[in-house]
Amino acid sequence: MAVRAVRGAVQLERDEAGHMDERVGALLTAVLERNGLVADDLISVWFTATPDLHSDFPAAAARGLGIVDVPLICAQELDIEGAMPRVVRILAHIETGLPKAGISHVYLGATGALRKDIAQ
């Protein structure tokens, strides 16, 4: 087993706690499924949210999925003029047998434009 990192992002349609929970939950689920992972494979997860998101902590969605014994942290993304609005990003550290090139980074919807080089 190796320690790897997997990236991902999702754009919210609106700043509402229930909507954030739904969309971030979908992102985390997709990251786990596309990489053949279970919650026990997670070492830690960093969440960032653009400054226009205030309704909830993105990490709350992970707790709602039952990811309760993994260190999670939330931070605010840089406030860059012209940046895509209402985006939650993740950086998850995982234990996996996958090689670096085998990691599926997950950018849902419009966020695929953020990292065309690694979005799948």
Q: Per the structure block, which two tokens stand in for 49?
A: 């949210």
Residue 89 annotated as lining a ligand binding site: yes
Residue 7 annotated as lining a ligand binding site: yes
Q: Evaluate whether 30 touches 111 at the Cβ level (below 8 Å).
A: no
Q: Choose among 33, 37, 59: nearest CA to 46.
A: 59
Residue 107 annotated as lining a ligand binding site: yes
The percent helix, strand, coil of the chain (3-state, each to 5) is: 30, 30, 40
Binding site members for prephenate: 7, 89, 107
Binding site members: 7, 89, 107
